[in-house]
Amino acid sequence: MLTVLSDTHSADDTRLQGRTRTAVAEADLVVHAGDFYRPSVLDGFERSARSLRAVYGNNDGPAIRDRLPAVCTVEYGGVRFAVTHRHRSGDTGLVMLGREREADAVICGHSHRPRFDDGTALPIVNPGSHAQPRGNRPAHAELESAGDGSLDGRLVTPDGEVFERFRIEP
């Protein structure tokens, strides 16, 4: 399983609870789309995940930016993702970034609003924020192989409620 998170904004720990904590612990790969806020939070994710790939966010200072890139490319289950915190040009910029990276989909954060959008040239996954939803539903994303080269995904609350299902094809 691939677990995707973003926008933790914590001064002390990962704020992982319930299903989100379990999803991180069970994942083959965890992707975090930035805004850890403090290096100790990044350290906590590195300890909690078997494998972590992450980018820094706009609220991450030099101590985190020295350790993480602004953009990375991740492959999971035959699907290639471009990962960034945000793009100033919105969805158009995210799609352009994905194309530059020869990605099948884009993972981003920043808005704290969980969403899957396949109405653009490349699908966009924003897991929202499990820890600081800012008026949105707290969430993370989980993706698993569908067995045909595509990934079945879901947006999930820390309480375990699945509130959106989606599919990403390479």
Model pLDDT, residue 122: 97
Instruction: Name the amino acid, one letter, at 4.
Output: V
Model confidence at 7: pLDDT above 90: yes
- 88 has pLDDT over 90: no
Q: What is the pLDDT of residues 142-163, one digit of tens each?
A: 999 999 999 999 999 999 999 9
Q: How far apart are CA 94 and CA 85, in angstroms?
A: 10
**Interior CA angle at 77 toward 44 and 103, to 5°?**
90
Helix (H) and strand (E) counts for the chain?
A: 4, 11
Task: Look at strands 151-156 and 140-145 and give their pairing.
Answer: antiparallel
Beta strands in the chain (DSSP E): 2-5, 29-32, 52-54, 71-76, 79-84, 105-107, 115-117, 124-126, 140-145, 151-156, 162-168
Third-level CATH fold of 2-168: Purple Acid Phosphatase; chain A, domain 2 (3.60.21)
Look at phi and psi of residue 152 and say left if phi exceeds 0, alpha if psi is from -120 to 50, else beta.
beta
Could you give the percent of the chain with pLDDT greater than 70?
100
pLDDT interval class at 124 (50, 70, 90): very high
- pLDDT tens per residue, range 44-69: 999 999 999 999 999 999 999 999 99
Query: Span 163-167, mean pLDDT?
Result: 98
Residue 117 has pLDDT above 90, yes or no: yes
The mean pLDDT of 82-98, rounded to a whole number, is: 95
Question: What percentage of the chain carries pLDDT values higher than 90?
Answer: 97
Distance CA 117, CA 107 (A): 11
pLDDT value, residue 8:
98
If you average pLDDT over every residue of the chain, what do you get?
Answer: 97
Read off the pLDDT band of 6 (50, 70, 90): very high
Measured in degrees and rounded to the nearest 5, phi and psi for residue 20 equal -65, -45
Convert the pLDDT of each residue in 15-33 to its tens digit.
Answer: 999 999 999 999 999 999 9
Say if residue 128's pLDDT is above 90.
yes
